[in-house]
Amino acid sequence: MNKVMVRLMIPVTGKEYDIVIPVSLSVGEATDLIGEFFTGLMGGGYMPGRDAALCDMEDGHIFDVNVSVESLGLKNGARVMLI
């Protein structure tokens, strides 16, 4: 599987989205990609800071930016947050 579809919550906006993330990316790269996408989607109304992080929505664990998305073992439907 080259990609995983996750349910992304952005607490700042209170909205959730289904997004597809390539598993070959590092968590840091995925965070940057997601942040850029949502900045464009919201016309600049949402701009994540440099310290934006992806974390597990179930337990709040912040994912290591240096780890690949694949090594996290995320499955389709996993719930994550961008904080």
User: Mean pLDDT across the chain, nearest whole number?
Assistant: 89
Model confidence over 27-66: pLDDT tens digits?
Answer: 999 999 888 887 777 676 666 677 889 999 999 999 999 9
Amino acid in position 41:
L
Selection from 56, 42, 64, 65 nearest residue 12 by Cα? 42
The predicted structure's pLDDT at residue 31: 93
- What are the beta bridge partners of residue 9? 16, 81
The predicted structure's pLDDT at residue 11: 86
Distance separating alpha carbons of residues 79 and 57, to the nearest angstrom? 5
The predicted structure's pLDDT at residue 15: 87
